[in-house]
Amino acid sequence: MFCGRLRMSKAYLFVLCGITVLILSNPRRGFTMKGGRSKSETKKADSKLSVKKGAAAASKSTKKEKPAKDPNKPKRPASAFFVFMEEFRKTYKEKHPNNKSVAAVGKAGGDKWKSLSAAEKAPYVAKAEKRKADYEKTLRAYNKKLAAGPAEEESEKSNSEVNDDEDEEGSGEDDDEDDDEDDE
Protein backbone atom coordinates (compact mmCIF):
# COMPACT_ATOMS: atom_id res chain seq x y z
CA MET A 1 0.00 0.00 0.00
CA PHE A 2 2.77 2.42 0.53
CA CYS A 3 3.47 2.33 -3.11
CA GLY A 4 -0.13 2.78 -3.93
CA ARG A 5 -0.75 0.86 -7.09
CA LEU A 6 2.18 -1.35 -7.72
CA ARG A 7 0.21 -3.46 -10.08
CA MET A 8 0.93 -1.55 -13.15
CA SER A 9 -0.62 -2.89 -16.27
CA LYS A 10 1.05 -3.23 -19.60
CA ALA A 11 0.33 0.31 -20.58
CA TYR A 12 1.79 1.50 -17.34
CA LEU A 13 4.94 -0.45 -17.91
CA PHE A 14 5.28 1.21 -21.21
CA VAL A 15 5.12 4.55 -19.57
CA LEU A 16 7.78 3.61 -17.14
CA CYS A 17 9.97 2.13 -19.79
CA GLY A 18 9.18 4.29 -22.74
CA ILE A 19 6.71 7.04 -23.14
CA THR A 20 6.66 6.48 -26.84
CA VAL A 21 4.22 3.70 -26.56
CA LEU A 22 1.94 5.76 -24.44
CA ILE A 23 1.59 8.20 -27.27
CA LEU A 24 0.30 5.41 -29.39
CA SER A 25 -2.24 4.63 -26.77
CA ASN A 26 -3.74 8.07 -26.98
CA PRO A 27 -5.50 7.75 -30.32
CA ARG A 28 -7.14 4.59 -29.26
CA ARG A 29 -9.79 6.39 -27.31
CA GLY A 30 -11.99 6.01 -30.33
CA PHE A 31 -11.92 2.27 -30.19
CA THR A 32 -11.70 1.03 -26.71
CA MET A 33 -11.55 3.23 -23.77
CA LYS A 34 -11.08 0.43 -21.42
CA GLY A 35 -7.65 -0.61 -22.37
CA GLY A 36 -7.03 -2.11 -19.00
CA ARG A 37 -8.36 -5.56 -18.87
CA SER A 38 -8.62 -7.22 -15.59
CA LYS A 39 -5.86 -9.29 -14.34
CA SER A 40 -7.48 -11.42 -11.79
CA GLU A 41 -7.03 -14.54 -13.82
CA THR A 42 -6.63 -17.85 -12.19
CA LYS A 43 -6.95 -17.67 -8.52
CA LYS A 44 -4.88 -20.73 -8.11
CA ALA A 45 -1.94 -18.69 -7.09
CA ASP A 46 -4.15 -16.15 -5.51
CA SER A 47 -1.88 -13.62 -6.95
CA LYS A 48 -4.00 -10.66 -7.63
CA LEU A 49 -1.06 -8.38 -7.42
CA SER A 50 1.31 -10.16 -9.67
CA VAL A 51 1.51 -13.00 -12.11
CA LYS A 52 1.19 -11.24 -15.38
CA LYS A 53 2.78 -8.16 -14.08
CA GLY A 54 5.91 -9.89 -12.96
CA ALA A 55 6.48 -11.58 -16.28
CA ALA A 56 5.63 -8.48 -18.20
CA ALA A 57 7.90 -6.36 -16.09
CA ALA A 58 10.76 -8.73 -16.68
CA SER A 59 10.21 -8.64 -20.39
CA LYS A 60 9.93 -4.94 -20.46
CA SER A 61 12.98 -4.48 -18.39
CA THR A 62 15.15 -6.13 -20.93
CA LYS A 63 13.45 -4.73 -23.92
CA LYS A 64 10.33 -2.85 -24.64
CA GLU A 65 8.00 -4.99 -26.56
CA LYS A 66 4.98 -3.69 -28.30
CA PRO A 67 1.92 -5.91 -28.18
CA ALA A 68 0.90 -4.82 -31.61
CA LYS A 69 -2.49 -3.52 -30.84
CA ASP A 70 -4.61 -3.49 -33.89
CA PRO A 71 -7.89 -1.66 -33.86
CA ASN A 72 -9.26 -4.12 -36.32
CA LYS A 73 -8.25 -7.05 -34.31
CA PRO A 74 -11.37 -8.97 -33.37
CA LYS A 75 -11.96 -9.45 -29.73
CA ARG A 76 -12.31 -12.88 -28.30
CA PRO A 77 -15.74 -14.36 -28.27
CA ALA A 78 -17.68 -14.17 -25.07
CA SER A 79 -17.81 -17.46 -23.28
CA ALA A 80 -21.01 -18.98 -22.02
CA PHE A 81 -20.37 -17.40 -18.68
CA PHE A 82 -20.15 -13.96 -20.23
CA VAL A 83 -23.29 -14.50 -22.23
CA PHE A 84 -25.04 -15.43 -19.06
CA MET A 85 -23.51 -12.47 -17.38
CA GLU A 86 -24.95 -10.04 -19.87
CA GLU A 87 -28.38 -10.99 -18.81
CA PHE A 88 -27.46 -11.46 -15.22
CA ARG A 89 -26.13 -7.95 -15.04
CA LYS A 90 -29.49 -6.54 -15.98
CA THR A 91 -31.21 -8.57 -13.35
CA TYR A 92 -28.66 -7.71 -10.76
CA LYS A 93 -28.89 -4.07 -11.60
CA GLU A 94 -32.59 -4.12 -11.00
CA LYS A 95 -32.17 -5.75 -7.68
CA HIS A 96 -29.28 -3.58 -6.74
CA PRO A 97 -29.65 -0.29 -8.59
CA ASN A 98 -27.40 1.35 -6.11
CA ASN A 99 -24.63 -1.07 -6.64
CA LYS A 100 -21.77 0.43 -8.53
CA SER A 101 -19.13 -2.16 -8.10
CA VAL A 102 -18.63 -4.38 -11.05
CA ALA A 103 -16.88 -6.69 -8.68
CA ALA A 104 -20.09 -7.30 -6.80
CA VAL A 105 -21.89 -8.27 -9.96
CA GLY A 106 -19.02 -10.47 -10.93
CA LYS A 107 -19.08 -12.32 -7.68
CA ALA A 108 -22.82 -12.73 -7.72
CA GLY A 109 -22.71 -13.80 -11.33
CA GLY A 110 -20.03 -16.35 -10.68
CA ASP A 111 -21.91 -17.75 -7.77
CA LYS A 112 -25.11 -17.97 -9.72
CA TRP A 113 -23.36 -19.48 -12.67
CA LYS A 114 -22.09 -22.32 -10.59
CA SER A 115 -25.55 -22.78 -9.30
CA LEU A 116 -26.90 -23.34 -12.77
CA SER A 117 -27.24 -26.82 -14.10
CA ALA A 118 -25.88 -28.10 -17.38
CA ALA A 119 -29.34 -27.83 -18.88
CA GLU A 120 -29.63 -24.25 -17.78
CA LYS A 121 -26.24 -23.44 -19.13
CA ALA A 122 -27.14 -25.10 -22.40
CA PRO A 123 -28.72 -22.05 -24.03
CA TYR A 124 -25.82 -19.90 -22.97
CA VAL A 125 -23.30 -22.38 -24.21
CA ALA A 126 -25.13 -22.64 -27.51
CA LYS A 127 -25.01 -18.93 -27.92
CA ALA A 128 -21.38 -18.85 -26.98
CA GLU A 129 -20.61 -21.37 -29.65
CA LYS A 130 -22.37 -19.26 -32.18
CA ARG A 131 -20.30 -16.34 -31.13
CA LYS A 132 -17.20 -18.35 -31.51
CA ALA A 133 -18.17 -19.20 -35.06
CA ASP A 134 -18.69 -15.57 -35.79
CA TYR A 135 -15.37 -14.81 -34.19
CA GLU A 136 -13.65 -17.23 -36.48
CA LYS A 137 -15.20 -15.59 -39.46
CA THR A 138 -14.21 -12.16 -38.26
CA LEU A 139 -10.75 -13.34 -37.47
CA ARG A 140 -10.52 -14.72 -40.95
CA ALA A 141 -11.38 -11.37 -42.44
CA TYR A 142 -8.87 -9.79 -40.13
CA ASN A 143 -6.13 -12.09 -41.27
CA LYS A 144 -6.98 -11.45 -44.83
CA LYS A 145 -6.82 -7.77 -44.28
CA LEU A 146 -3.40 -8.11 -42.81
CA ALA A 147 -2.32 -10.08 -45.81
CA ALA A 148 -3.87 -7.59 -48.18
CA GLY A 149 -2.04 -4.65 -46.80
CA PRO A 150 -1.95 -3.64 -43.19
CA ALA A 151 0.11 -0.60 -43.83
CA GLU A 152 -2.56 1.03 -45.77
CA GLU A 153 -3.33 4.37 -44.35
CA GLU A 154 -6.13 6.54 -45.44
CA SER A 155 -8.50 4.60 -47.51
CA GLU A 156 -8.51 6.30 -50.82
CA LYS A 157 -11.54 4.55 -51.96
CA SER A 158 -14.20 2.60 -50.30
CA ASN A 159 -13.06 -0.86 -50.73
CA SER A 160 -15.59 -3.47 -50.21
CA GLU A 161 -12.89 -5.68 -49.14
CA VAL A 162 -13.77 -7.96 -46.41
CA ASN A 163 -16.32 -9.83 -48.20
CA ASP A 164 -14.75 -13.14 -48.59
CA ASP A 165 -15.98 -15.63 -50.88
CA GLU A 166 -17.31 -18.32 -48.92
CA ASP A 167 -20.28 -18.56 -47.00
CA GLU A 168 -22.21 -15.47 -46.55
CA GLU A 169 -24.52 -15.85 -43.82
CA GLY A 170 -26.36 -18.90 -44.72
CA SER A 171 -26.69 -20.03 -41.30
CA GLY A 172 -30.09 -20.67 -40.11
CA GLU A 173 -30.51 -18.48 -37.20
CA ASP A 174 -32.80 -20.50 -35.22
CA ASP A 175 -30.97 -23.60 -34.65
CA ASP A 176 -32.76 -24.50 -31.62
CA GLU A 177 -32.26 -28.12 -31.63
CA ASP A 178 -33.82 -30.11 -28.92
CA ASP A 179 -31.71 -29.84 -26.03
CA ASP A 180 -31.20 -33.24 -24.84
CA GLU A 181 -29.15 -32.34 -22.00
CA ASP A 182 -26.86 -35.02 -20.98
CA ASP A 183 -26.20 -34.22 -17.50
CA GLU A 184 -24.42 -36.64 -15.46
Partner DNA sequence: TTTCTGATTGTTGAG
Partner DNA sequence: CTCAACAATCAGAAA
Q: Which residues contact DNA by CB under 7 A? A: 4-5, 7-12, 25-26, 28-29, 32-43, 45, 48, 51-53, 55-56, 67, 75-82, 85-86, 89, 93, 100-103, 105-107, 109-110, 113-114, 125, 128, 132, 135, 139
Nearer to DNA, 100 or 157 (CB): 100
Contacts of 93 (CB under 8 A, 6+ apart): 99, 105
Nearer to DNA, 28 or 159 (CB): 28
| Nearest-approach distance from CB 80 to DNA, in angstroms | 5
Give the residue among 105, 110, 171 at the shortest CA–CA distance from 136. Answer: 171
| Nearest-approach distance from CB 158 to DNA, in angstroms | 26
Nearer to DNA, 35 or 159 (CB): 35
Q: What is the DSSP letter of 157?
A: S
| Nearest-approach distance from CB 184 to DNA, in angstroms | 15
Nearer to DNA, 156 or 166 (CB): 166
What's the CA gap between 117 and 160, in Å, rounded? 45
Nearer to DNA, 93 or 159 (CB): 93
CB burial string 78-98: b at 16+ within 10 A, e below: bebbbbbbeebeeebeeeeee
What's the CA gap between 93 and 95, in Å, rounded? 5
| Nearest-approach distance from CB 156 to DNA, in angstroms | 27
CB burial string 21-56: b at 16+ within 10 A, e below: beeeeeeeeeeeeeeeeebeeeeeeebeeebebeeb
Nearer to DNA, 81 or 145 (CB): 81
| Nearest-approach distance from CB 167 to DNA, in angstroms | 18
| Nearest-approach distance from CB 18 to DNA, in angstroms | 14
